[in-house]
Structure 1
Amino acid sequence: MTDTAFRFLSYAGKTKVLHLSWVAFFISFLVWFNHAPLMSAIREQFGLTAAEVNTLLLLNVALTIPARILIGMLVDGLGPRRVYSLVLVISGVLCIAFALSTTFEQLALSRFLLGFVGAGFVVGIRLISEWFPARELGLAEGIYGGWGNFGAAFAGLSLPALALWYGGDDGWRWAVGTTGVIAILYAAVFYHQVRDTPKGSTYFKPKRGGAMEVTSRGDFVLYLVMNLPLFLALALIVWQLGPYKLGLLGAATTYVLYGVILLMLTVQVVRIWQINGHVFQRAVPAFDRYPFKQVALLNLVYMASFGSELAVVSMLPLYFLDTFDISPLLAGMLGGSFALMNLFGRPGGGYLADRFGRKFITLVMLAGIALGYMLMAQIDSHWPLPLAVALVVFCSVFVQGGCGAVYASVPLVKRRLTGQVAGMAGAYGNVGGVVFLVVLAMVTPKMFFLVLGGIAVVILALVMIFMDEPSPQTSEVMPDGSVRMIDVT
């Protein structure tokens, strides 16, 4: 790993990798959320009901739950360069398919498959951790996550205008398709310009693939417990689409999908036992242990921050349109204001975590998230529009800062498992997105924001009680069997 000074304006070495990575993440989020600011045009052209709009929003984050787990395993085993390039190509093709849809069913299928692009987050977390020293990880990961995640805000700010520039009823299709072409072209750039590690560095890989390694009996049980919400969220999506809610799936199809999810859970439990059953027979050497509770807490923090952002970014354009007397173009642009602070909030949260401690800054961000959402619950049509937008931006600062604090901590859990740790945290972000969107479909926006604030308070209490600061050093086993100590602070 290179130890030269952090020079953001440079385009060489680790900084070149950082710039190439955040642009890849930016494009993936541009593709992932290109539908949200154009939803009013899509709703009008297809004559969508409120239930069908909610279905598209829900499907957009559904596949990302298993995809982030899968991509986390792939990036730890195959390396970021190949995996990120593949993610961009596949997502570009799916994006074009969405733009060419002629029925609601085609919209729904392509939107569901596009959830795959959200897994790109995981790749960059591992890649950046290979190139930057621990004292700069929070800032570097924050820049990667923040500037990349700004793709969602950029979609809100630019795609409505781009659709108008293309003109006609199909302007939204050309705008969406353009983002898919950009993703495919950039995949080639990324593949040819990026290396997985600095020259001479070792790329540590998991000892076995298919499930995360844990190092104690208690951690084994906690790992099983933390897997359950991932599959329950998938079941929740099926229930939401089934005959008792939106009615888009028949009863037989619904029960078949429940069976598939149960089978997936069973396979995962078996694989976890195959990878980690040895902890019940012999103790893992002390130098190779790590506390899985850190992973569990980071999962929950990311659910409160990024999970809530997923839901809020998806609903804000229509929320502004329905609450205030404004145009669809302005509503889309204002809805993107929530993600606007990605440019500063995530790098800022990571930088503060580097300087003042991961746990302390995480607590500060969770407190700000709780306060921000509870204040947003008070917005109504009588509010001055600038004040409402200012409050949205205020809340976003802490939401993005919470993501940055997570980025600062994930690579410090266990080096060879960084992709899987990031993948699980990222999947929990999508679990939050799914759960919160289901809540949104059942309650008023006011209650929706109150629920988000209340969950942040609960997670704040858990972090305060159980989270630890990273230890000064971590260890990894080299390919030749020797043990290397890696500085964390």
Structure 2
Amino acid sequence: MAARNFSLFSFQGRYRILHLSWVAFFLSFVVWFNHAPLMAAIRDTFGLTTSEVNTLLLLNVALTIPARIVIGMLVDTFGPRKVYSLLLVVSGLLCIAFALAQTFNQLAVTRFLLGFVGAGFVVGIRLISEWFPARDLGLAEGIYGGWGNFGAAFAAIALPGLALWYGGDDGWRYAVGTTGVVAILYAFVFYWGVTDTPKGSTYFKPKKGGAMEVTSRGDFVLYTLMTVPLFLALGLIVWKLGPGKLEMLGTLTVVLLYGVITALFLFQFARIVQVNGHVFKRDVPEFDRYKFKQVAMLNMVYMTSFGSELAVVSMLPLFFLDTFGLTQLQAGMLGGSFTIMNLVARPGGGLLADSIGRKRATVIVLAGIAVGYLLMSQLDATWPLGLAVLLVVACSIFVQAGCGTVYAAVPLIKRRLTGQVAGMAGAYGNVGGVIFLTVLSFVSPAIFFLVLGGFAVAVLAIVSLFMDEPEPQSTEVLPDGTVRVIEVQ
């Protein structure tokens, strides 16, 4: 059913929650990416090498993979109001610490920890789902995601000017520190301005913490398998920092970190067994079941969309510069064309899902992503520049609409697990970014785009065959044992 009577410019009721939420997400992304547009000044201040600069950029996303899982668990247990407020305060303090850093090691540690703020996105997904009905949920989640995501672009546009306004060699420090202060102040606005649910509604919480609940033996196996790539991606980051690559870590350190990652996986597997071991002893009641395959497919779709976006925006300016002989400024502006449609394309994807169904919308955007990347693999200097830019923008619309369709479906899988489902899908987006950028380091841009297109085709086939539409109703169990029926459509 299409979204109706959506009062976007209202600041009452659920719309107040929507606006307060996307601003929180917007600020978290400003804080997360505030270093990137100021990296030249930071490099000059500390005399950083190219490897050290690349290390800071990599560390900025390293922690986000496990952080989105952890934040998903916390928000399901403690509620969005507390978790988002605390996250903004902590990230603001870390941001100020980054601005005050005096050594590269201090820069590296604070930037690594700031990767946690990238998980703030997950919090609002659960909060919006508590306030909006299913017929408007895709559009609301799309606005939250698209407008909040613009925080990264805003940082790139505004912070160099703010640093220049402050002036001096430390202008970048004041600009970065300012974003931290604003995040802390807004945490109090958010805390006093939102509630986790509308008055009289129940906030359903997981029965157990530490791992996502599953409801069948097959889902237990699939959940375990889907957990593995999260840790492999962390291992890939360590490898990129180690000998033969960025060479920021020694062989012994790399081996120790591999051991830590392995230990963390074994610990997580033990938690999965502890939380879900009962499915091997007795069947979960039919009314309390959900299909984990839905989560797995949304993970793959988000990896295809947001994961590829992370990789493409990192390489597109240089691609335009090398392919069409542009200046660095021109190439940067044209490369940024891949993200500019986020403001409307992600809400558009959510609206499409509200209008024609989650599965049908996902199939359409995946087909668009596949065709877009396969055509981009043919880009070379013989193409008219205008046509090349038009193709990039068209592909980006489908990529960002794909993000919208994912989070139109996430809240409809299992209400009490929404934060964890959102966190896992979000983590897979970062996994995709790490894997696709690694692929790019070994192949030409043409082959890179071909790989992205081929991956989208594979995911399209899986979704077409196995994805289900949400059931008309879902159920949750109240603390007193009463079964509550929740209308989905």
TM-score band by shorter chain is over 0.9
Q: Is the alpha carbon distance of 1:398 and 1:37 closer, same or farther for their aligned partners in structure 2, counting shifts above 3 Å? A: farther
Tell me, in whole angstroms, the C-alpha distance in 2 between the residues paired with 1:318 and 1:107. Answer: 26
The alpha-carbon distance between structure 1 residues 156 and 445, as it changes in their structure 2 partners (threshold 3 A), is farther
Q: 8 Å contact 2:51–2:247 — kept in the other structure? A: no
Shift of 1:144: 0.5
The alpha-carbon deviation at position 452 of structure 1 amounts to 2.0
For 1:155 and 1:227, locate their aligned partners in 2 and report how far apart those are by CA, in whole Å.
32
Aligned partners of 1:336 and 1:38: how far apart in 2? 17
Query: Quick one: distance in 1 between partners of 2:344 and 2:106?
Result: 37
1:62 to 1:290, Cα distance in 2 relative to 1, 3 A: same
Separation (CA, whole Å) in 2 of partners of 1:434 and 1:105: 23
Q: Which residue of 2 aligns with 1:174?
A: 174
Q: Give the aligned residue type for 2:184.
A: I
Q: Per the alignment, do residues 37 and 457 of structure 1 end up closer, same or farther by CA in structure 2, a change over 3 Å counting?
A: farther
Counterpart in the other structure of 2:469: 469
* Equivalent residue letter for 2:479: P
Q: CA deviation at 1:384?
A: 5.3
Tell me the equivalent position of 1:238. 238
Aligned equivalent of 1:65: 65
- Work out the CA distance in 1 between the residues paired with 2:488 and 2:407: 14
For residues 322 and 24 of structure 1, what CA distance do their matches in structure 2 show?
37
Are residues 1:23 and 2:23 paired?
A: yes
- Show CA shifts across 1:331-351 (max 9, x none): 554443322111111110001
The residue correspondences of 1:77-476 to structure 2 (distance < 5 A) are 77-320=77-320, 331-380=331-380, 385-476=385-476
- Whether the aligned pair in 2 keeps the contact of 1:474 and 1:488 (CA below 8 Å) is yes
Structure 2 counterpart SS, 1:197: coil
Alpha carbon RMSD of aligned pairs, Å?
2.3
Q: What CA distance in whole angstroms lies between the structure 1 residues aligned with 2:475 and 2:156?
A: 44
Kept in 2, the 8 Å contact 1:72–1:423? The answer is yes
Judge which range, 241-250 or 165-174, deviates more.
Answer: 165-174
Task: Provide closer, same or farther for how the CA distance between residues 60 and 318 of structure 1 changes in structure 2, counting only shifts above 3 A.
Answer: farther
AA aligned to 1:72 is G
* Paired residue secondary structure (1:476): strand
- After TM superposition, give the deviation of residue 380 of structure 1 in Å: 4.8
User: How many angstroms apart in 1 are the aligned matches of 2:319 and 2:38?
Assistant: 14
Unpaired runs of 5+ in structure 1? none
Contact 1:149 1:339 in 2 (8 A): no
Q: Is the 8 A contact 1:359 1:468 kept in 2?
A: yes
1:90 Cα offset (Å): 1.6
1:354 CA drift (Å): 0.8
The one-letter amino acid paired with 1:23 is: V
How far does residue 418 in structure 1 lie from its aligned partner after superposition? 0.4
Distance 2:158 2:321 in 1: 17
For the 8 Å contact 1:304–1:456, the answer to whether it is kept is yes
1:428 offset after TM fit, Å? 0.7
Write out per-residue CA displacement over residues 192-246 of structure 1, whole angstroms, 9 at most, x where no aligned residue.
Answer: 1110000110000001111110000000000000000011111111111112322
Any conservation in 2 of the 1:153–1:338 contact (CA below 8 Å)? no
Deviation string for 1:391-439 (max 9, x for gaps)? 3322211111000000110000000000110011111111111212222
The Cα shift of 1:373 comes to 2.5
Change (3 A) 1:344 1:70: same
Q: CA deviation at 1:50?
A: 4.5
For residues 175 and 226 of structure 1, do their structure 2 counterparts lie closer, same or farther at Cα, with a shift above 3 Å needed?
same
SS at match of 1:243: coil
Counterparts in 2 of 1:202 and 1:466: CA distance versus 1, 3 Å: same
Identity %: 74
Q: Distance in 1 between the 2:107 and 2:168 partners?
A: 19
The separation in 1 between residues aligned to 2:387 and 2:95, in whole angstroms, is: 35
Residue 283 of structure 2: SS of its match in structure 1? coil
What is the CA distance between 1:328 and its match in structure 2?
5.3
Query: SS of the residue aligned with 1:140?
Result: helix
TM normalised by structure 1 equals: 0.93
State the alpha-carbon separation in 1 of the partners of residues 403 and 382 from structure 2.
Answer: 32
Q: Report the secondary structure of 2:441's partner residue.
A: helix
Instruction: Report if the CA contact (8 A) 2:127-2:196 is conserved.
Output: yes
Shift of residue 258 of structure 1?
0.9
Q: 3-state SS of the aligned residue for 1:337?
A: helix
Give 5+ residue unaligned stretches, structure 2. none
